[in-house]
Structure formats: C-alpha cells, structure tokens
Amino acid sequence: MQFKILALSTVVLVSSLSAALIRAAPPTSDPQVDITSPADRSRLPWQSQGSYAVTISYDGKSTRFDEIPSSDVLLATSFVPDTDAPAARRAAPLPQALADITRSNCMGCHDFNASSGGPSFAAIGKRYAGQPAAAATLAAHIRDGSRGAWGSGSMPPHPDLAPAQAGAIANWILTHGTDPAVRYYVGKSGSFRMITPGKPGPRAGLVLSAYYTGPLTSGGTRNAVGRNVVVVMGTGS
C-alpha cells in the first residue's frame, strides 16, 4: 500500500516535471503540419479519387479540437513526371494570395476547379485568359463586389482586402487558376483526384503538400515542420 502511494506520487512528480519542461521549451514559430493520409509512396490509379487527412498544430492550438478551423488547411496536389526526383519532395512556398483567399470568405462560395455558389477559379481564369485588363477588373470586382457577369448570383464586396491584396489574388486566379497540373483542396480532410495534364509516364505521380493558412503569431512563419509533403504514385494510364 505504502509503496503504491509512493509510486503514484513519483508519477505525479515526473509528469508535472515534464509538463514544466514542455512549458519551458521555446515556443516553435512554425506550424506542425502532418499529412496523416494517404501514406507516402502509396499508389492510386490515375483518374481515381483518394482521401486525405491533415492535422495541424500551431501556437498551442490544434485542428483536432477545432481550435484551428478546418478551413485553415490547404492541400495542393501537383503532377510530377518523376516521383523519384528530389525536386518532387519540395513543397513550394505558399503564395500570399492563396493564404488570403483561404483566410477570407471566398471558399464559402468558390472552389478551385468546380462550381458551387460562384464560378470556379479555373473557370474565371479561363474566361479572362489573355485579356490584359482582366487583372484590374477582377481585383475591382473582388473589392467592390460583382453581379451579372456569370449568373443571377452576386458576390459581396471585400473592403477588408487592400487593393494590393485583391490585385495579387486576381493575378493568382488568372495565372494559376487554370494550371492543369495543380489542384487545391481546402479542409482538414476530403478527397483529391489523381489528375494528369497529359499521358503519364511510369514514374509519374502527384505530390501532395499541406499548408496552414491561418493567422500567424508575431515572429511566426509558414515554414511547416512535420510530414507536409507526400508522394502518391499513379498506376494505370
């Protein structure tokens, strides 16, 4: 009995000690981003759908308890002709425009490659491709709102976005919205598609990179730690 009590208090002591140690550790200023599924180097047939799941913790908050909202998670999938090439493992830095898109309310009405409440960013990019004045028009429509350009729905104004931010978003939609090799998905879990821009070779696949798009604390960066890049190899053709 005596022994048991002792052992118990040791445990208490050790755990409070380690808690103190954890608290004493310097706060990491990089978000911990982990793609928990799919597994790295897993295989999926081209044109099929896979499911993904991402966990993020940052600044003492976690997606697990919805302290970081699911909408702060962005997954990008890029086609690579050779999944063994070292470059395939490198996540491109997150463009600020994309962080702004996911942090504002855009994704409540838009999707990157499919219609929802508004046209897809891909469709917008396609419609205005090659029109030099388009970026300025779209930036103005993002800030001031828009109606009548696509259908009967209307887009609210976004006075909270600075002109430069709206301009960068418009440019991003025009230049990347239609990239056939890249797809974006918002949310901590969901589906992704094994898409190919052309006929894939035997070593081709998708690189999945996950990002935290939420607010940063002072001194924080978007350089993620953890398994934020995985490669999925395509099978079939």
Cβ nearer to another protein, comparing 100 with 158: 158
H or E element: which one contains 9? Answer: helix 2-24
Q: Which option in another protein, ligand HEC, none does residue 70 bind, with CB closer than 5 to 8 A by kind?
A: another protein
Is residue 47 helix, strand or coil? coil
Task: Give me the sheet containing 73-80, strands edge to edge.
Answer: 42-45, 229-235, 205-212, 73-80, 182-186
Q: What is the DSSP string of 54-77?
A: EEEEETTEEGGGTSS-GGGEEEEE
Taking the complex as a whole, how short is the minimal distance between the CB of residue 81 and ligand HEC, in angstroms? Answer: 31
Q: Which option in ligand HEC, another protein, none does residue 10 bind, with CB closer than 5 to 8 A by kind?
A: none
Rounded-to-5 percentages of helix, strand, coil across the chain: 30, 25, 45
Q: Which option in another protein, ligand HEC, none does residue 146 bind, with CB closer than 5 to 8 A by kind?
A: ligand HEC
CA distance 162 to 96: 13
Residues 80-109 that bind another protein (CB under 8 A): 105, 108-109
Give the number of other Cβ atoms within 10 Å of residue 59's Cβ: 16
Write down the H helix ranges in 71-185.
96-103, 121-127, 134-144, 163-176
CA distance 110 to 113: 9
- Cis, peptide link before residue 81, omega less than 30° from 0: no
215 binds another protein (CB under 8 A): no
158 binds ligand HEC (CB under 6 A): yes
Q: Find out whether 209 and 91 touch, Cβ atoms under 8 Å.
A: yes
Residues 13-72 that bind ligand HEC (CB under 6 A): none
Residues 55-74 that bind another protein (CB under 8 A): 70-71
118 binds ligand HEC (CB under 6 A): yes
Among 109, 114, 162, 225, binds ligand HEC (CB under 6 A): 109
Among 51, 131, 217, 237, binds another protein (CB under 8 A): 51
Part in contact with ligand HEC (CB under 6 A); list of ranges 9-17, 32-40, 55-63, 143-151: 143-151
Cβ nearer to another protein, comparing 30 with 236: 236
In this structure, what token pair is assigned to residue 200? Answer: 């894939």
Q: Which option in another protein, ligand HEC, none does residue 169 bind, with CB closer than 5 to 8 A by kind?
A: ligand HEC
* Number of residues binding to ligand HEC, judged by CB under 6 A: 27
Taking the complex as a whole, how short is the minimal distance between the CB of residue 176 and another protein, in angstroms? Answer: 18
Q: Residues with Cβ < 8 Å from 53, sequence gap 6 or more?
A: 35, 36, 37, 188, 189
135 binds ligand HEC (CB under 6 A): no
Task: List contacts with another protein (CB under 8 A).
Answer: 47-51, 70-71, 105, 108-109, 111, 113-119, 145, 148, 150-158, 185, 187, 189-193
